[in-house]
Structure 1
């Protein structure tokens, strides 16, 4: 009894401490955001404790939490929802029921979750894809790709590429009455990372280069070459996405060796001979003056990490490492960023680089926004910001797809 009381008391103190941690003043629905942020911080601290005492791995608590929100494939009066597989990879299809004289647009949806947790079948993603399908009369394909650490890089990417190529076959598009000239790839957070890479790979593949009309990237993570970007420093403690948690989980996509996480935190993870790629992510060249503030650019430190991870210089892992000739073939691009987001500056760099090589980019910036808001459009912690992001994204699709 005493042990349980002690644990309960500790949990209350921890929750209260996290609840009153400072967050930016101008965030919409500040107390809702603070509550969600507190849950994440408490989960992170509990996960660290459980891992330290050997009870479970750090990432397990987040993976377990995500499974609570998995939904069944339930059709309604407007949409037929089917769980099936493409090329042996699980997908969830959303097929409009209403008849259409013309062929339908299609959206290939790639979910976030730092490559380690989540699913296209969770409540929030299911709701988004239903809304997209219904509003646009579009076929939506949600990809349930393999997750790290059980399936490290490039497993998730390979699954997304295989599903996309399978779907883009003429007979498959014809079967679902999809217009091959009206297809968009979309992803949020790490799903945006995967969507950006899939788009790069397909647009530079002669067989598929003209099959993708557009890409939509919602607050994507596009690099971990430099983990000291201004937004990384300013939003180290969130809200919602915290630097230590993000790096600890993201590194599992590469390795289970915790030394990589520690090197990432110190910005000392890049291998010798990689200085030539820093130009692709040098924020002092690409960030608007507004976001440089009083930050001073310093290069990541080379050669401090004993282990060697060649994948850290692979553009398939970090889309920002693609050179200009690879970027200039990309289709119409929609990027949405949030002001109070650790990943904000990744997108600003990508936007400038894409525009510099002639890619048409539509950029929407949510001044009071926070990372992950699109995942909070259901339940008691639904955020108006999430609905605004959803509606802006879908409006852009209506205008451009």
Structure 2
């Protein structure tokens, strides 16, 4: 329906999808004060516990998912209010804004909160950054970017809920076997990648087949991206390509920016990875980007960054949004939120 309305020039597909999504949410404020505000020009929603505290609290920066297409403060309201208190930011999205708008909004909102955390009753040494899907990617990029900053408090931990960590290699086992699993199918994923990164959709096939990756780049990144780095139990149905595709230089020139680390933070140098704070990482069995999460987990562990891994066997991408849906709920949704809350409470 969104695509039809877009072709009729009534409204864009992302706008229609967000309208339907937000209209279906019945917001609840369970034991928290909620305030909409702005950090500069960036809209944020602050969740603060009603119960008094004798000492500064831990703080959570939550960056929501949605592939820069869907997702909003309203859509994720109950995720934030029901299980924890913190600050949730809303970044600029399609169709009017492309990368790096999302990244800069998340970065600037995070810096603002870290600098002013005491004003919200938060202990600046106990701030956790958290996100799901593309919000998880933003959490990784923000954490990596702020490593060298000495003028703001350090992020205590990163909580990454099925984060999207790279946007150029789509030949891993999960990319080839979970192609049609909702809510993130192969077609929707590559559409989001192209639209968000301003890549013409005519390059979809070249990107998906790997033809847009130069031999020199693959030689550089193979040590991190090779399916051999993925545990064997996740490769049981994997059939590697019989022969490599021919390199398409035109596709490479159009898409090479996907290898920038503020788009694909999985490719950050070891010296950056080694400085990152401890992480809690959620992966999902039926998720097309599952293997990227597993590869990032390995990269952190190889650099001796403490990692707690929570794998959900019945999970699918985007399931966290259904945790409070009375008529269409999934056990995996509550499973993830309970695990995340338990981890944060122990920090």
Query: What TM-score do the two structures reach when normalised by structure 2?
Result: 0.90
1:316 aligns with 2:262: yes
User: Deviations for 1:195-230, whole angstroms, at most 9, x for unmatched residues?
Assistant: 11111111233434x520000001111112211111
1:131 aligns with 2:86: no
SS of the aligned residue for 2:262 comes to coil
Greater Rg over alpha carbons, structure:
1
> Which runs of 5 or more residues in structure 1 are unaligned?
1-45
User: Deviations for 1:323-343, whole angstroms, at most 9, x for unmatched residues?
Assistant: 111100000100011111111
Q: How does 1:1-400 map to 2 (within 5 A)?
A: 46-47=1-2, 57-69=12-24, 78-122=31-75, 125-133=76-84, 138=85, 140-169=86-115, 172-208=116-152, 211-255=154-198, 257-270=200-213, 274-279=217-222, 281-293=224-236, 294-296=238-240, 301-305=247-251, 308-379=254-325, 380-400=327-347
Take 1:399 and 1:306, find their aligned partners in 2: how far apart are those partners? 45
User: Deviations for 1:289-331, whole angstroms, at most 9, x for unmatched residues?
Assistant: 1222343267674524175244212100111010111100000
User: Deviations for 1:219-251, whole angstroms, at most 9, x for unmatched residues?
Assistant: 111112211111011111113221111111222
Matched positions, count:
343
- RMSD, matched Cα: 2.4
User: Deviations for 1:141-196, whole angstroms, at most 9, x for unmatched residues?
Assistant: 10011112311111001001101111111xx2221111111110000111111111
Q: Residues 283 and 59 of structure 1: is their aligned pair in 2 closer, same or farther, counting only changes over 3 Å?
A: farther
Contact 2:131 2:137 in 1 (8 A): yes
Take 1:322 and 1:206, find their aligned partners in 2: how far apart are those partners? 21
Take 1:225 and 1:388, find their aligned partners in 2: how far apart are those partners? 30
Take 2:311 and 2:113, find their aligned partners in 1: how far apart are those partners? 31
Q: Residues 79 and 54 of structure 1: is their aligned pair in 2 closer, same or farther, counting only changes over 3 Å?
A: closer
Q: Residues 57 and 263 of structure 1: is their aligned pair in 2 closer, same or farther, counting only changes over 3 Å?
A: farther
Take 1:368 and 1:189, find their aligned partners in 2: how far apart are those partners? 17
Take 1:49 and 1:126, find their aligned partners in 2: how far apart are those partners? 29
Query: What TM-score do the two structures reach when normalised by structure 1?
Result: 0.79
Take 1:255 and 1:217, find their aligned partners in 2: how far apart are those partners? 25
